[in-house]
Amino acid sequence: MPSRLPAAPPVPSAVHHDTTALLRGATADAYADTVRDVARDVAARLSAVTQPFSGAGRAELQDLVDAVDLDGPASGTAEALREAGELYAQHAIWFHVPAYAAHLNCPVALPAVGAETMLAAINTSVDTYDQSTVATLMERRLVEWTAGRIGFPAGGADGVFTSGGTQSNFQALFLAREKARRAGTRLESMRILTTGVSHFSIAKSALLLGLPDDAVVTVGTDADGRMSPDALARTLVDVERTGDVVIAVVATAGTTDRGCIDPLGPVADLCDAVGTWLHVDAAYGCGLLVSPTRRHLLAGIERARSVTVDFHKAFFQPVSSSALIVRERADLAPVAWHADYLNPREEDGEPNPDLNQVDKSLQTTRRFDALKLWVTLRALGPDGVGALVDAVCDLAAAVHADLATDRDLRVVGTTDLSTVLFRYEPDGLDPERADALVPQVRRVLFDSGRALVAKTVVDGRPCLKLTLLNPDATLADVRGVLELVRSAAHGLLAGEALTDTDEPPCRTVHPRLARTEGEG
């Protein structure tokens, strides 16, 4: 008797998907309408916004987010995007407003935004050539262009676009670690030398790379936070005497706090003398590569083994757009990993001829972010981008000069780029009280939404920080932000707040800097 087969599972009832949900030929017109409607909404907001943030409190925003039922019935594309505009765009931070001066965020180049529309719709992944074709060739051309601007020898350099400076720095230190490991250096003996004001991603990378807790050795600086070549020389000797091995020296071309550039030439001299890897973190300062007037500040960068560049900082690109550039193509080899389904090492017994960029990237699936920079360079030209870089550096210099004789605001240090550090410190104010005012003033401005500044600590003292990356901002705009700082500090010191009375104690001071009725 034949064996009984198990009963077939029940056939589920048919569920029909929305045939208009995906971007394809049949929905091309809907795509055009959707992008047009979103662009008009954003354009209207750009035209109307007068301050960088709405000033909504966190509890209010949390309530708005929680009120959205993500398991609710479908609302359709138009309604979903309208809702997103009211939730996200209404309360986003706007970097194009001159009163935004907090972090390393910039207004974005218009041609790059157009390129974003193109690359998002086509959705290319540049991990393998068979997914990207010409996109891979365009990215490789931009890597060559950037290497040329750095001054690396033609034909030998290489690199890859990344998600940002943190990933670029991590990959550079991974390459340095692998070079040392293959030469026989034990992980526990590896040391990375950098200053105490380098980007936190250096220490974080050492942790992720499995290096010892004391692997990052701090090198002394001058009074303005630039690496001291004499201190580097002493530290190199000290590490050698312990029996440890310096696998990399990280110099910074644009420190996050001060925007200062380490002396790259003298640092390179020392690295060459001892034969160690020099990595230059130029995430902030890379815009000087196209500056008509300040390129000399990067003298010596061409002697690095690897360089981090962040186009989404100094080239006014939408996030994300960064790259790691190496002087010698072979240095990227340790990143390669081959999978039969994706980038096999061989085809038909021969080396795989395809240009698969996953061979040199930490990422697999990766957006074609290089298109944004390509279009920007074609639209504005390198000199056009460089003029924007010079504009923000010139503005920072003007603000430094403007504050030199200010009675209330004291400038802290100097900058090579577009940073201004300062404190509210009028005569007679106790330094500890001035310390306490720094986070309080920043919070007052943030809560008001009228201006955003950052805070940091320099030489043990908290400071307020302006990061000026808006080429359209003027000295008058920055003076307006500084007046808000002054007003907030005065109000906090007085312990008084504006009320709705006819004669408040000070019409320009309020813990949230709220405008009163009739005020412009």
Residue with structure tokens 């925003």? Answer: 61
**Does pLDDT of 63 surpass 90?**
yes
Confidence of residue 3 (pLDDT cuts 50, 70, 90): low
- Name every residue whose Cβ is closer than 8 Å to that of residue 225 and which is 6 or more positions away in sequence: 195, 197, 255, 257, 258, 260, 413, 458
From the list 406, 441, 442, 411, the residue with the least C-alpha distance to 427 is: 406
pLDDT of residue 449: 97
**Does pLDDT of 505 surpass 60?**
no
pLDDT of residue 14: 61
**Segment 449-498, tens digit of pLDDT:** 999 999 999 999 999 999 999 999 999 999 999 999 999 999 999 873 34
Tokens at 383, concatenated:
């000199």
pLDDT of residue 16: 75
Could you count the other beta carbons within 10 Å of the beta carbon of residue 414? 18
pLDDT of residue 512: 54
DSSP letter for each residue of 323-367: EEEESSGGGGGGG----TTT--SEETTEE--S--GGGG-S-SS-B
Mean residue pLDDT across the chain: 93
pLDDT of residue 504: 42
270, 236 contact by CB (below 8 A) = yes
**Segment 277-325, tens digit of pLDDT:** 999 999 999 999 999 999 999 999 999 999 999 999 999 999 999 999 9
From the list 421, 389, 391, 384, the residue with the least C-alpha distance to 403 is: 421
**Does pLDDT of 203 surpass 60?**
yes
161, 370 contact by CB (below 8 A) = yes
Q: How far is CA 125 from the centre of its chain?
A: 22
Rg value, the chain, Cα? 27
Q: How far is CA 252 from the centre of its chain?
A: 15
Could you count the other beta carbons within 10 Å of the beta carbon of residue 423? 23
pLDDT of residue 18: 84
Strand, coil or helix: what is 449?
A: coil
Q: Give mean pLDDT, residues 252-262.
A: 97
**Does pLDDT of 434 surpass 90?**
yes
Burial bucket for residue 464 (CB in 10 Å: 0-12, 13-18, 19+): buried
**Does pLDDT of 71 surpass 50?**
yes
pLDDT of residue 185: 97
355, 137 contact by CB (below 8 A) = yes
Cα-Cα end-to-end distance for the chain: 94
From the list 310, 220, 307, the residue with the least C-alpha distance to 256 is: 310
Q: Give mean pLDDT, residues 159-176.
A: 98
Number of H helices, E strands in the chain: 14, 14
Percent of the chain with pLDDT over 70: 92
Q: Give mean pLDDT, residues 514-520.
A: 44
Alpha-helix residue ranges (DSSP H) falling in 243-344: 264-274, 311-314
pLDDT of residue 65: 98
pLDDT of residue 472: 98
**Segment 336-384, tens digit of pLDDT:** 999 999 999 998 889 999 999 999 999 999 999 999 999 999 999 999 9
**Does pLDDT of 98 surpass 70?**
yes
Q: Give mean pLDDT, residues 56-61.
A: 98
**Segment 125-159, tens digit of pLDDT:** 999 999 999 999 999 999 999 999 999 999 999 99
445, 513 contact by CB (below 8 A) = yes
Could you count the other beta carbons within 10 Å of the beta carbon of residue 18? 9
Tokens at 422, concatenated:
């300062």
Residues present in the chain in total: 520
Q: Give mean pLDDT, residues 97-120.
A: 97
